[in-house]
Amino acid sequence: MTDAARPLIAVLDYGSGNVHSAVKALTEAGGDVRLTRDRGLIADAAGLLVPGVGSFSAVMAALRESRGDELIERRLAGGRPVMGICVGMQIMFEQGVERGVDTEGLGEWPGTVTELSAPVLPHMGWNTVTPGEGSVLFDGLEDERFYFVHSYAAQEWTLDVMKPFRSPVVTWSEHGVPFLAAVENGPLTATQFHPEKSGAAGISLLRNWIRSLPTSG
C-alpha cells in the first residue's frame, strides 16, 4: 500500500503508556499513523485510536487534563470513527469502580466497569472470543486468540438501539465470568484485549478496522 493510499490514523497522545507498540501495529496494518495531541490533525484523521493502560481513574484524569475527552466526544458526535483499547474501551462506559473508587467515564455506553470474579487476577494471556453476528472486526478471525491483561471489565451490555439504527455488535470472552471483549457501535469501536500484542491476529483485526474507515479521511 502506497503512503497516499494509507488512511491517516491519529493515536491520542495524552500520557498513556504502551502507545509505541500500538503505533507500530497500526502502521503494519496499513495506516499512516501519527502519535499526536494536535487537535486539528485529530479532527481530520480518518480514525482515532484511544489507548489506555493503568487504572480507570488515572486514564480519565489524564484525558480530562489534556482535554482528550473533548476530542473523543466531538469526533463521535460527528460520526467519525474512534477505537478504544483496554482501559481505552472501559472509559467509554458511564462509570468505573476500582478498589472502592467510583469514577465517571465518558458515558458513550451505559454500564459500569467492575472487577472480574475469577480465581486468578489479573486475567493475563491469550484467550478466545465469541464474536457477535455481523462483526467487521473479527471477519476471518472468529477462531483466533487475543492477548488480554486486565482485572476489570464491563460484564453487562444494556444499550437498546431502535430501528432504523443498526444494533451494536457485541463480542464476549470469559475469565471466571463472561465479560465484553469488544463492541462495534457505529463510529465507536473498542476492544478489551490488546490487538497490538496479539500477533498476526491482532494486526488482521486492526486491518479490518482500518479498511472500514471512510476513504475521504
Helix (H) or strand (E) holding 204: helix 199-211
**How many H-runs (helices) and E-runs (strands) does the chain carry?**
6, 13
Per annotation, catalytic residue among 86, 123, 144, 175: 86
Q: Out of 123, 150, 175, 194, which one is annotated catalytic?
A: 194
Q: Which strand (E) or helix (H) includes residue 8? A: strand 8-12
End-to-end CA distance of the chain: give it in Å, rounded. 16
Catalytic: 196?
Answer: yes
Whose CA is closest to 23, among 96, 80, 85, 95?
85
Among the options 108, 144, 184, 196, which is catalytic?
A: 196
Alpha helix positions (H), 12-146: 19-28, 39-44, 56-66, 68-77, 87-90
Whether 73 is catalytic = no
Strands 93-98 and 101-104: antiparallel
Name the phi and psi angles at 4, rounded to 5. -65, -30
Q: Catalytic annotation on 175?
A: no
- Which residues are catalytic, by number? 86, 194, 196
